[in-house]
Structure 1
Amino acid sequence: MENKKISSQYPSRSYGNRQQPEKKVKKAEGQNIFARSGRAVKKKFRIFSIRAGMDMPFFLLIMVILCIGLVMLFSASYANAYYVYGDSYYFIKDQALFAVLGIVIMILVSYFDYHHLHKFAMPVLGVSFLLLVVVLFQPAINQVHRWVQIGTFSFQASEVTKFAIVLSFAHLISINFKRMDTFRYGILPYLIILVPTLLLLAAEPHISCIAIVVLLAAGMLFIGGVKLRWFVIALSVIVGAILYLVIFTDNFSYANDRILGWLDPFNEQIWQETWQTRNSLYAIGSGGLLGLGLGNSRQKYLYLPEPQNDFIFAIVCEELGLIGALIIIILFALLVWRGISISLKAKDKFGSLLGIGLSAQVGLQVILNIAVVTNTIPNTGISLPFFSYGGTSLVILLAQMGVVLSISRTSMIEKG
């Protein structure tokens, strides 16, 4: 009886004891919902964030290649720098400063949330078109219009163009991914971008950049899901246009000489035109298996014109030999492979396409440069990434690698 009285004496208290935690839980849940929504809003508008951390293997590969590139640039350039400018450190001083600036920009860009680049795709493309027009009114250098000159500062407009193509294509393909098999969404927008770009590059003229842009565009469209028949049609049109320009116009007369030199670089009748290619082959041949040793190149002593630029890989082969050259090629291959691996595991199509495009650009330039240096293809005047002299191109390249590192911060890949 007493137990019953006691239990019934405090009904409201026992009820209250059961309900009080439920009220606290509901209140806590409500606070958590508001906190999560607040964080979501902040995250949505957050421009810089650490997220999961950048991919260290990719970062270390960049730094190793960059350091080797700076060492080889100094070795290849000091003789020419002393002869022309009276200062053996002329080229390496500028390149080292731009390298430090580029590394800082790369790290900063890696913290930048790449999703915000959606908003910059069309403005960057507009700037690219503007620069390609401006460069046509600049003074010609070696019979071509490629450099925008601002006082003592100059840069190639095509460096911006390559990034603009990759960015704009990644932006549009990611938006229209499910409709890429149609002409309206899978072909027309990219023709509107690509045709004026190629025409402006042809007016410079800049054949090597045309090749890179076409290959990058084709690769990204193929990944985006464009049907194969459109590539066959495009290839037929491009080949027809090139044949027309070469046969019926004088726009690519300089390229005709290069093709003749490519077919027979040791022909005495075109001895002057093939001087660069011929000395490049001499350098590669004299390097042998192990090379002459770092700094011991002979061809850089005013035999190979401007060895610090497009033909720097010939000096690499001469000083480091076949084994050293293969190691550098393997490092580039690992860099491209790691960049594509990061991109394939990105959490969105925009990140995947953007990272693949930027990584593929490095790979294409390396392949084309080495092909030119070894006379596998005609001389097209294309630089070797991280090695060839050019401050602005190095900074832009490192900034692009920063974008890949930004993608790696959200990519579902083991960072190492």
Structure 2
Amino acid sequence: MTNSGTRRPAAGRAARRTPPEARPAGRERVRKKFRVFSIRSGMDLPFLFLVLVLLVIGLVMMFSASYAYAYYHFGNSYYFIIRQALFAVIGVGVMIFISYFDYHHLHKFAVPLLLLSFALLVLVRFMPPPSGAGGVHRWINLGPLGQFQPSEIAKFAVVLVFAHLISLNFSRMGTFRYGVLPYMLILGATDALLLWEPHISATVILTLIACVLLFIGGIKLRWFGVAFGAIGAGVAYLVLFTDDFSYANERLAGWLDPLSTWQTRQSLYAIGSGGLLGLGLGQSRQKYLYLPEPQNDFIFAIVCEELGFIGALIIIILFAMLVWRGISISLRAMDKFGMLLGIGI
């Protein structure tokens, strides 16, 4: 006998519910489409700590290395540190702002940013080179804001485009059409514009980054060797056997024979003077116009002179920890695009 007052079993009630995948998703799709920023930051605290520590050390050493040069050439010992501190504040602000940004939206900017970098690399070639730059065309003058190098935009643009294309064609990276040809064309065009400046170091760095991304992206080793062996041979020929890159030949000769160039010799004096514990912060002697432009490429020599072997080693360890943390974060990304973008940067 059926009891009409008996409650239906729970299974019966559950069967009438609409499965989550069958519910209307239009509002959710619209919300995700227009959500560029997340209310939660993706900031990694250990990474942020390392960045801030290195930033503070860098500002202190920048002031210590530059004040004599700045006073002699500009009449203001704070000339470099004021600008550097301003850019540091802006950089930290942008970093925090970007941490809320959904990086998947960068897909749509990959090709436009690459084309913009090409235009800037052509434009900079027709800009007058700064005094003391050796006749190379690497900087665009922004007046009171200083100068910037379009090559830095080109590096990020190539990383972004490579990450974009590899993530879209990951299953076809073993073929020549999808795994080699587009990357050869993009990298070849970018390297050609960088060599036109000329900017050898940026060309080498960009090519190495591209090789790493393609290796991680799954390119076959035979294509890898053929493509970038040809690019490397071309760059080596231009540098070693043409007159257009005589300054690069001089730098190479200076690297092979460090005592043959004044700047390298003075930097070695600075490193040797530091010893184990250094002369003390602010006590460098080589920065007093012995080492040309000590606040630039050779600032590490001043670090060694003032902080010694121990201080220099600590800074190297901090940078190594920063790189390791960045790679570990990238490897935990949600998708191939995020992983490749993080490792490339």
Compute the TM-score of the two structures, normalised by the length of structure 1.
0.76
In structure 2, the partner of 1:143 is: 135
In structure 2, the partner of 1:401 is: none
Q: Kindly state the Cα deviation for residue 235 of structure 1 after the two structures are TM-superposed.
A: 4.3
1:305 pairs with 2:292: yes
Amino acid at match of 2:317: I
2:65 and 2:302 in contact (8 A); partners too: yes
Q: Kindly state the Cα deviation for residue 196 of structure 1 after the two structures are TM-superposed.
A: 0.9
2:41 and 2:100 in contact (8 A); partners too: no
In structure 1, the partner of 2:118 is: 129
Amino acid at match of 2:78: Y
In structure 2, the partner of 1:178 is: 171
Amino acid at match of 1:180: M
1 CA distance for matches of 2:196 and 2:76?
36
Q: 1:318 aligns with which of 295, 305, 312?
A: 305
1 CA distance for matches of 2:337 and 2:33?
16
2:240 and 2:249 in contact (8 A); partners too: no
Compute the TM-score of the two structures, normalised by the length of structure 2.
0.92
In structure 1, the partner of 2:201 is: 208
1 CA distance for matches of 2:213 and 2:335?
15
1:59 pairs with 2:80: no
In structure 1, the partner of 2:212 is: 219
Q: Kindly state the Cα deviation for residue 249 of structure 1 after the two structures are TM-superposed.
A: 2.2
In structure 2, the partner of 1:342 is: 329
2 CA distance for matches of 1:183 and 1:106?
37
Written as runs of structure 1 = structure 2, the 5 A alignment for 1:10-409 is: 11=4, 14=5, 18=8, 33-34=23-24, 38-51=27-40, 53-141=42-130, 142-152=134-144, 153-267=146-260, 274-358=261-345
CA distance 1:239–1:33, shift in 2 (3 Å): closer
CA distance 1:297–1:52, shift in 2 (3 Å): closer
2:184 and 2:227 in contact (8 A); partners too: no
Q: Kindly state the Cα deviation for residue 247 of structure 1 after the two structures are TM-superposed.
A: 4.7
The DSSP-based 3-state class of the residue aligned with 2:99 is: helix
Amino acid at match of 1:233: V
2 CA distance for matches of 1:292 and 1:208?
32
The DSSP-based 3-state class of the residue aligned with 1:300 is: coil
For the pair shown, the structure with the greater C-alpha radius of gyration is 1
The DSSP-based 3-state class of the residue aligned with 1:111 is: coil
> Structure 1, residues 254-296: CA drift from partner, whole Å, max 9, x if none?
11222222222334xxxxxx11111111111101111111111
The DSSP-based 3-state class of the residue aligned with 1:251 is: helix
Relative CO higher for 1 or 2, CA cutoff 8 Å, sep ≥ 6?
A: 1
Unaligned runs of 5+ in 2: none
Q: Kindly state the Cα deviation for residue 68 of structure 1 after the two structures are TM-superposed.
A: 0.7
1 CA distance for matches of 2:328 and 2:39?
20
Over the matched positions of the two proteins, sequence identity in percent amounts to: 65
Amino acid at match of 1:173: I
Corresponding pairs, count: 341
> How big is the alpha-carbon RMSD for the aligned residues of Structure 1 and Structure 2?
2.5
Unaligned runs of 5+ in 1: 268-273, 359-416
